[in-house]
Amino acid sequence: MTDSAPLFLTPDGPLRGHYHAGLVRASGIRYARATRFQTPIDEPAHPETRQATTPGPVCPQVPDPALQEALGPALAGRTFDEDCLRLTVTAPADYHMGPARAVLVWIHGGSYVSGAGDLAFYDPAPLVREQGLVVVAVSYRLGILGFLGHRHAPANLGLLDLLAALRWVQRNIAAFGGDAGRVTLLGHSSGGDAAAHLMLAEGAAGLFRRVILHSAPLGLAPGRARMTRAMAAAVAPLPPDAPLEHVLAAQPRATQAARWSGLKAGMPFGVQYGVAPLPPEAAADAAWQAAAPHFDVLIGATADELRFFAVIAPPLRRLLTLPRPAPALVQALIAAGSRRIYVGPAVAFARRHALAGGRAYLFTVRYHPAGSEFGGAHTIDLPLLFGSAEAWAPVPLLGEAGWPEVEAAGRPVRQFWADFARAGQLPARIHLPGVLEVEEVK
């Protein structure tokens, strides 16, 4: 390896990347363009060399103080801009040698309203360094800019962004040593929900072969039409040329308009059936069954999903600290909600997929860091796959656990997930005490 910056000769045009921690990266690559409330247009080929050495901008979003308390200052120092359809590729330093490598496309979570694909605690360096994968991290439009739909905007714009990113991967990933025929979507939370729905999306055929769905809130997907109509009405009128601050100020009104809808109000923004690229809701189950033989699925949840939200919600957090029976009651509600939103739908998804002729595995992440009030909650799986000691240090999620412990717990998880990305197959049963359980579904 020389000291000069790597040059990736992609079919779309040359990209000047950079070295980082012994790996090669191309950061902030534009995969599409979109004006506000419009569908994305794939980025055309460019004869000139483009610099891909810094992260792209983050989709403008409404800050959530409670989420920041749990996950730390993840977005500190980042630039926010609606021109955010960017991705970052991380590959081994010897990417140009040997057979083409399996590709993971990371779809971040954040309830469809927050985050970005290339945050520090999503750094895929451990997966790339240990497993030799090529990882693509995608940022896409969020919240009112990407997932509402109203008189001036079609729904599912963020989902269309992800399809554009996958088309970019198919065209260009070979230049980074990746195998376009072995693309796996790895989605967390709302990102997992998006990945599951991309299996149904018009235009998705041939763009990926496998999906890994972490903590996808599939229990919140059905029956959202009335809620989304109320949200759209609450933001009207919202013309495309409104100042950005006015657009973002309308998002809390949309959220408030969903309060009556029960558990669905916990993630009011999301994909909408019957609007491109998705089929009508009544046809979704049949569409997933028809798609099953074409995809391998690894789906699951953490052991205590909703405890994350109980800890960051002040009223429930106070109840957790009271003498019994209050904490026991809250824990019973957490367990019931976790089954309703995450666990039960994951089991049903895996069973339907297997019965329809697809390969399916169901997992539970049981890792519980010492001294963490979050326990085995939503997002506890992320440090087992991504990041570094420095990236996770400011995050309260890990409690008193030292990074060597987290890194050791995650190493076999990264191995199994990479094996799945490479071949779509795992042992019929995996038991890593205190960390992970996986079972093939027949």
Residue whose pair of structure tokens reads 């020389």 in the numeric block: 2
Q: Is 114 a catalytic residue?
A: no
* Active-site residue, selected from the candidate residues 188, 353, 368, 378: 378
Q: What is the DSSP letter of 180?
A: E
Task: Give whole-number Cα distances, 155 to 130, 148, 190, 235, 278, in Å.
Answer: 39, 5, 16, 14, 10
The residue type at 62? V
Q: Between β-strands 359-365 and 436-441, what pairing exists: parallel, antiparallel or unpaired? A: antiparallel
> Three-class SS string for 227-273?
HHHHHHHHHCCCCCCCCHHHHHHHHHHHHHHCHHHHHHHHCCCCCCC
Residue whose pair of structure tokens reads 């040329």 in the numeric block: 241
* CB burial readout 337-359, b (16+ within 10 A) else e: bbbebbbebbbebbebbbebebb
* Active-site residue, selected from the candidate residues 189, 190, 215, 372: 189
What are the domain boundaries of the chain?
7-301+339-441
d(CA 296, CA 426): 11
192 in Cβ contact with 219 (< 8 Å): no
* CB burial readout 181-219, b (16+ within 10 A) else e: ebbbbbbbbbbbbbbbbbbbbeebeebbbbbbbbbbbbb
Token output for 339: 């089954």
Task: Give whole-number Cα distances, 353 to 96, 182, 349, in Å.
Answer: 36, 19, 6
Token output for 33: 């363009």
Question: Pick from 109, 79, 104: which is nearest to 89 by CA?
Answer: 104
385 in Cβ contact with 363 (< 8 Å): no
236 in Cβ contact with 323 (< 8 Å): no
Question: Pick from 368, 365, 361: which is nearest to 419 by CA?
Answer: 361
User: Tell me, what's the pLDDT at 326?
Assistant: 61
Q: Which CATH class is domain 7-301+339-441?
A: alpha beta
* Active-site residue, selected from the candidate residues 305, 368, 372, 439: 305
Q: Is 378 a catalytic residue?
A: yes
Instruction: Compute the CA torsion angle 418, 420, 422, 425 (nearest 10 deg).
Output: 150
The one-digit pLDDT tens for each residue of the chain (442 residues) are 445 899 999 999 999 999 998 999 999 999 999 999 999 999 999 999 999 999 999 999 998 887 777 787 888 889 999 999 999 999 999 999 999 999 999 999 999 999 999 999 999 999 999 999 999 999 999 999 999 998 889 999 999 999 999 999 999 999 999 999 999 999 999 999 999 999 999 999 999 999 999 999 999 999 999 999 999 999 988 999 999 999 999 999 999 999 998 889 989 999 999 999 999 999 999 999 999 999 999 999 999 999 998 888 766 666 566 676 667 777 888 899 999 999 999 999 999 999 999 999 999 999 999 889 898 999 999 999 999 999 999 888 999 999 999 999 999 999 999 999 999 999 999 999 999 999 999 9
376: Cβ–Cβ under 8 A, 6 or more apart, which residues? 302, 303, 304, 307, 365, 366, 367, 368
Q: What is the DSSP letter of 53?
A: B
190: Cβ–Cβ under 8 A, 6 or more apart, which residues? 109, 110, 111, 112, 217, 267, 270
Q: Is 305 a catalytic residue?
A: yes
Token output for 204: 């998705």
